[in-house]
Chains A and B, each alone.
Chain A
Amino acid sequence: MDGRAFLDVAQRLLQASTEADWRSAAGRAYYALMLEGRAALQRWGFTIPRTEQIHRFVRLHLLYAGDTDMGRVSQVLEELSKLRNQADYQIELLGRFASNQDTKQGLADARAALLLLDAVSSDAARRNAIITAMRKAFP
Chain B
Amino acid sequence: MAILTEIAVTVSAEAAARVAALGMQREFQMMIDQLKQIIPGLRAIEVTLEYPPDYEDEPAVLLTTVQPPPAQEIDPTRDAWRAWFVETLPPDVLRHFVRLPFYEAGNGR
Contact = CB atoms under 8 A, between A and B. Distances in A.
A83 interface: yes
Interface of B: 50, 52-58, 60, 62, 69-70, 73-75, 78-79, 82-83, 85-87, 91, 94-95, 98-103, 105, 109
Interface stretch (A11-19, A74-82, A119-127): A74-82
B83 A105 contact: no
Interface of A: 51-56, 59-60, 63-64, 68, 71-72, 74-76, 78-79, 81-83, 85, 88-89, 95-96, 99, 101-102, 105, 108-109, 112, 137
A108 B74 contact: yes
Nearest to A80: B100
A82 B94 contact: no
12 contacts: A52-B54, A53-B56, A54-B55, A55-B52, A60-B95, A71-B82, A82-B50, A89-B54, A95-B109, A99-B103, A101-B69, A102-B103
Given A52-B56, A53-B56, A55-B52, A101 B94 contact: no
